[in-house]
Chains A and B, each alone.
Chain A
Amino acid sequence: QVQLVESGGGVVQPGRSLRLSCAASGFTFSSFDMHWVRQAPGKELEWLAFISYDGSQKYYADSVKGRFTISRDNSKHTLYLQMNSLTTEDTAFYYCARDHDYIWGDYRFNWFDPWGQGTRVTVSS
């Protein structure tokens, strides 16, 4: 079945780096755009980054632009999020999600499906 499994979370000091991975299975990974989304404790979901199916297009939320880098290795069916200069504000559950779309005429509707189970990142001294 379609599955996404994140890994790489943990406790890290402010200013340090962490790399998250998201292993995909059950679908043709190289054909799908992908996203990272996070949820801080008690906060709403926050979209972080997008990467196109071939890695040629990347977009970021302002809150992480210049600090986080999304990438993918289609040969390994794996999505990554390199997180640098971490602050306590980055403490959250991090989810990877597949972009799923529906084309109706000239319109393209997209949503996140499925999501991984999430990996917890705690930034603390």
Chain B
Amino acid sequence: DIRMTQSPSSLSASVGDRVTITCRASQNISNYLNWYQQKPGKAPKILIYAASSLQSGVPSRFSGSGSGTGFTLTISSLQPEDFANYCCQQSFSIPYTFGQGTKLEIK
């Protein structure tokens, strides 16, 4: 199975900050990488698919990059509604696997 490792596991930031979350795959997954946002008590919501494609309706302050084994999710200017959990997921091969998540908290 492909192991997905995210860092950091938690992050404190302020409104307006630029933040970056990293996801590393245990093997080359090309750009078969998705990012989700999950708020407490809610289902995950897709933000980025295919490593860098912004899902329709997602604000442009979210962006994704990377290929192979290293990927990043960047939020250019944090808004109050962005404080949530974020996780990556590889769609290169079954079993699909997720990162352990990054909790983004208000500083």
Contacts and interface: CB of A to CB of B under 8 A. Distances in A.
Contact of A45 (B42, B46, B98): B98
B50 interface: yes
Given A44-B101, A59-B94, A61-B95, A114 B43 contact: yes
A68 interface: no
Contacts of B50: 102, 104, 109
SS of B interface (majority):
loop
A123 to B, nearest CB: 21
A47 B90 CA distance: 11
Contacts of A112: 34, 36, 44, 46, 89
A116 B55 contact: no
Contacts of B53: 102, 109
Contacts of A115: 43-45
A84 interface: no
Given A62-B95, A95-B43, A44 B49 contact: no
Nearest to B42: A117
A61 to B, nearest CB: 5
Nearest to B44: A115
Contact of B91 (A44, A62, A110, A114): A110
Contact of B43 (A59, A62, A110, A116): A116
Interface of A: 35, 44-47, 50, 59, 61-62, 95, 100, 102, 104, 109-118
Going nearest first, the 6 A-B pairs with the smallest beta carbon separation are A115-B43, A47-B96, A109-B50, A45-B98, A111-B34, A44-B100
